[in-house]
């Protein structure tokens, strides 16, 4: 006879939770890196940015550069924290991704297509971090391979 090995349901939940958290971590880190690159362009007063004279949320391009630089650096740190599957990083990831969405919405007139791409990317990060339940990261295990007492 052959033995049939099946994976328990909690292992499948763990795989999904780990995968979604890793996805969010990598996407948030990438969004942070891209925000830092974008901020360098804005701080250098590059002529790649479009300026519209009659926009309600008019800030100087240098101001947007500093805003994106700070948010990008924080997003990179939180993305690395998400790889450690920590609760503070999940909460901070949702907050930072929300701030990235707001900052990109407000800077739409300067770089419209890229702002929309970053809004969509940050939305995916928020979705991935909110779908994963905190208690399902390791299922019935405290650490991977260690049963609870």
DSSP secondary structure string for all residues of 74-105: HHHHHHHHHTTT-HHHHHHHHHHHHHHHHHHH
Per-residue pLDDT of 89-119, as tens digits, reads 889 989 998 998 998 888 787 778 888 988 9
Residue with tokens 């701030």: 99
CB atoms within 10 A of CB 125: 29
pLDDT over 50 (residue 141): no
pLDDT the model gives residue 13 = 64
Share of the chain above pLDDT 90, in %: 11
Q: Between these two residues, 91 and 10, which has the higher pLDDT value?
A: 91
Phi/psi at 141 (5° precision): -110, 140
| Closest C-alpha to 25, from 92, 118, 106 | 92
């Amino acid at each position: 006879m052959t033995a049939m090995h099946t994976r328990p349901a909690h292992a499948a939940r763990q795989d999904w939770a780990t995968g979604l958290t890793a996805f969010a971590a990598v996407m948030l880190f990438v969004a942070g890196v891209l925000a830092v690159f974008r901020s360098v362009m804005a701080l250098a007063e590059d002529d790649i940015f479009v300026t519209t004279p009659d926009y309600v949320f008019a800030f100087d391009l240098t101001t947007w550069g500093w805003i994106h630089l700070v948010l990008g650096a924080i997003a990179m740190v939180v993305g690395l924290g998400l790889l450690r599957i920590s609760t503070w990083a999940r909460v901070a990831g949702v907050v930072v991704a929300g701030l990235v969405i707001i900052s990109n919405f407000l800077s739409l007139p300067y770089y419209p297509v890229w702002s929309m791409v970053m809004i969509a990317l940050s939305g995916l990060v928020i979705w991935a971090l909110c779908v994963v339940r905190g208690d399902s990261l390791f299922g019935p295990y405290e650490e991977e391979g260690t049963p609870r007492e």
